[in-house]
């Protein structure tokens, strides 16, 4: 879908938004991470790495994507559902960096040769919890074990409260070329309610400095549905963010699941916006960003027309991994650090979620994998369908049939029948030999993808997922 103006929104009404205000996966993978099993072992992951090294897997010679999870934060944000460790004791970082070296060495030993990395991302937690010296050490350790490709995307998540111009300069010197700023909302009442106070002026200053320092891309994360938010207050935040002109914007709906995420128990549920207001916030955000010239990438992402994500969307080269939308080909992902998720070949894997277990396993000389999944033939077929929908908005039956030796109309007979109601609503067009997501359907693409999710269709227990809008 090309860039649009606010008054050319494709027929989205509040009634439609309410209809699709349901829970569902974000499909950074298929099957989704909640389907991982403990029966998948570190040995199976090791074998997958060896197969990649021996060229036994498709893409064995392709560049890697590497994700490094830094779990530490100085203070807790009440909305947070990430794996994190709240501490003001910065000495804890040294032990963690030692563990990362052990994990990297165990991983590289199985890969047998230096691997080229086209995408490196530091997430958390707050990676900027680390000092300049610690970040320098970490990057040196990574570069000693992996070869960063020329032009590689090297990105880091930034807590604006923890960085200065000097820190940004140091990040640039270390080779980072992309920044993601955690903003969530600029309204003071909302910030107080979620225990994350930072001024618009401070973020604006950092954004300007990042451009002066030559960072290629900046992203801003926002959340709607937080306590104390109103459609009017969030509209002000949208206008402020648009004025900053970040290259990319990630807009997430808040999922209040206090039974699963302990920090959320500090949020007074009575202060959360009602469903109708949440719908108006999303509608206003879509109109606002499109009106300021952004392209809607898919699901909950926007980008300037000149950004590489927008270019990839126009050219049909969009991909999706555990970090969200990507311009890089469907490549293997090595996850490093506590709770990190990776993908190698037809396997997914996840590290231990608690630091003591993560440390103990590595000290025993073992990869810290605690669960994962070896994908079945059916998983692979459905992944191809879902990722084509999520990234290109179109599935050509012939490409699926040639790759997986099936007949789409036979294999997915029940699913194609289910798509009829979405077609009547205007979300998809089912052609004789293809499925096309419409302009309106892009805003609800998760609902379209969910039709092909065998696990979800089987149990209907979606309370563990965030809402589509």
State whether 112 and 249 are in the same domain.
Answer: yes
Orientation angle between helical segments 165-173 and 132-145, nearest 10 degrees: 10
Last residue within a domain, chosen from 284, 303, 334: 334
Contact, 71 vs 341, CB < 8 A? no
Query: 339: how many CB neighbours lie within 10 A of its CB?
Result: 20
State whether 171 and 250 are in the same domain.
Answer: yes
The pLDDT tens digits of the residues spanning 21-55 come to 777 888 888 999 999 999 999 999 999 999 998 87
State whether 44 and 162 are in the same domain.
Answer: yes
State whether 229 and 145 are in the same domain.
Answer: yes
Residues of the chain with pLDDT under 70: 1-12, 56-61, 329-330, 459-469
pLDDT of residue 199: 95
State whether 45 and 137 are in the same domain.
Answer: yes
**What is the spatial distance between Cα 433 and Cα 411, in angstroms, rounded to a whole number?**
13
Question: Could you tell me if residue 70 is inside a domain?
Answer: yes
State whether 251 and 136 are in the same domain.
Answer: yes
State whether 433 and 422 are in the same domain.
Answer: yes
Exposed/middle/buried for 151, CB within 10 Å: 0-12, 13-18, 19+?
A: exposed
pLDDT of residue 329: 67
Last residue within a domain, chosen from 334, 361, 386: 334
Question: Could you tell me if residue 403 is inside a domain?
Answer: yes
CATH number of the domain at 154, please.
3.80.30.20
**What is the spatial distance between Cα 402 and Cα 396, in angstroms, rounded to a whole number?**
11
Cis peptide before 31 (omega within 30 of 0): yes
State whether 302 and 403 are in the same domain.
Answer: no
Question: Could you tell me if residue 228 is inside a domain?
Answer: yes
Last residue within a domain, chosen from 284, 309, 334: 334
Dihedral sign computed on CA atoms, order 385, 387, 392, 393: positive
State whether 125 and 254 are in the same domain.
Answer: yes
Question: Could you tell me if residue 369 is inside a domain?
Answer: no
Bridge partners of 369, per DSSP, are 351
State whether 250 and 264 are in the same domain.
Answer: yes
Contact, 65 vs 333, CB < 8 A? yes
Question: Could you tell me if residue 214 is inside a domain?
Answer: yes
State whether 269 and 173 are in the same domain.
Answer: yes
Q: How many domains does the chain have?
A: 2
Cis peptide before 246 (omega within 30 of 0): no
Q: pTM here?
A: 0.89
**Structural domain boundaries, residue 8:** 1-30+376-460
Q: Residue 258: what are its φ and ψ, rounded to 5°?
A: -60, -25
Question: Could you tell me if residue 46 is inside a domain?
Answer: yes
Q: Shortest CA distance to 129 belongs to which of 158, 169, 168?
A: 158
Using CA atoms, how far residue 428 sits from 60, 80, 393, 434, 453, in Å, is 35, 34, 9, 10, 17
Provide the total of helices (H) and of strands (E) in the chain, helices listed first: 17, 19
In the three-class reduction of DSSP (H, G, I as helix; E, B as strand; rest coil), residue 294 is classed as: coil
State whether 265 and 394 are in the same domain.
Answer: no
pLDDT of residue 5: 34
pLDDT of residue 24: 81
Q: Residue 117: what are its φ and ψ, rounded to 5°?
A: -115, 125
CATH number of the domain at 402, please.
1.10.10.920
* Range list of β-strands (E), 165-307: 178-184, 217-224, 248-253, 295-298, 301-303
pLDDT of residue 409: 96
Question: Could you tell me if residue 467 is inside a domain?
Answer: no
pLDDT of residue 69: 97
Question: Could you tell me if residue 423 is inside a domain?
Answer: yes
**What is the spatial distance between Cα 421 and Cα 411, in angstroms, rounded to a whole number?**
19
- For 77-100, letters b (16+ CB in 10 Å) and e give bbbbebbbbeeeeeeebeebeebb
pLDDT of residue 462: 52
Category of 68 on φ-ψ map: left (φ > 0), alpha (ψ -120 to 50) or beta: beta
């Amino acid at each position: 879908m090309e860039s649009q103006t606010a008054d050319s929104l494709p027929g989205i009404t509040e009634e439609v938004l309410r209809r699709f205000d349901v829970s569902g996966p974000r499909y950074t993978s298929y099957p989704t991470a909640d389907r991982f099993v403990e029966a998948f072992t570190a040995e199976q992951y090791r074998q997958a790495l060896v197969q990649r090294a021996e060229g036994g897997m498709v893409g064995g010679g392709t560049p890697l994507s590497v994700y490094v999870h830094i779990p530490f934060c100085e203070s807790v944000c009440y909305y947070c559902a990430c794996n994190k460790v709240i501490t003001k004791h910065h000495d804890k970082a040294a032990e963690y960096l030692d563990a990362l070296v052990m994990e990297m060495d165990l991983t590289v030993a199985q890969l047998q040769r230096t691997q080229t990395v086209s995408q490196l991302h530091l997430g958390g937690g707050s990676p900027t919890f680390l000092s300049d010296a610690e970040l320098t050490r970490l990057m040196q350790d990574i570069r000693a074990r992996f070869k960063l490709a020329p032009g590689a995307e090297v990105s880091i998540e930034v807590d604006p409260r923890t960085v200065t111009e000097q820190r940004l300069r140091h990040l640039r010197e270390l080779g980072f070329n992309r920044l993601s700023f955690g903003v969530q909302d600029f309204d003071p009442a909302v910030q107080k309610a979620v225990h994350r106070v930072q001024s618009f002026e401070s973020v604006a200053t950092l954004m300007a400095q990042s451009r002066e320092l030559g960072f290629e891309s900046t992203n801003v994360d926002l959340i709607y549905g937080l306590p104390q938010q109103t459609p009017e207050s969030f509209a002000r935040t949208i206008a402020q963010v648009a004025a900053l002109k970040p290259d990319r914007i990630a807009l997430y709906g808040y999922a209040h699941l206090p039974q699963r995420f302990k920090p959320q128990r500090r949020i007074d549920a009575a202060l959360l916006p009602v469903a109708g207001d949440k719908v108006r916030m999303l509608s206003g955000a879509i109109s606002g960003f499109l009106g300021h010239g952004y392209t809607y990438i898919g699901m909950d992402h926007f980008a300037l027309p000149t950004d590489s994500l927008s270019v990839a969307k126009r050219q049909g080269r969009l991909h999706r991994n555990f970090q969200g939308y990507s311009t890089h080909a469907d490549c293997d992902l090595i996850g490093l650090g506590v709770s990190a998720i990776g993908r190698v070949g037809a396997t997914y894997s996840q590290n231990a979620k608690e630091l003591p277990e993560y440390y103990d396993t590595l000290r025993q000389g073992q990869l810290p994998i605690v669960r994962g999944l070896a994908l079945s033939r059916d998983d692979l077929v459905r992944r191809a369908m879902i990722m084509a929908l999520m990234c290109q908005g179109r599935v050509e039956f012939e490409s699926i049939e040639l790759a997986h030796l099936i007949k789409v109309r036979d294999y997915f007979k029940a699913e194609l029948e289910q798509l009829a109601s979405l077609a009547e609503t205007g979300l998809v067009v089912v052609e004789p030999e293809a499925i096309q997501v419409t302009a309106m359907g892009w805003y609800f693409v998760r609902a379209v993808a969910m039709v092909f999710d065998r696990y979800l269709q089987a149990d209907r227990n979606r309370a563990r997922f965030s809402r589509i809008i």
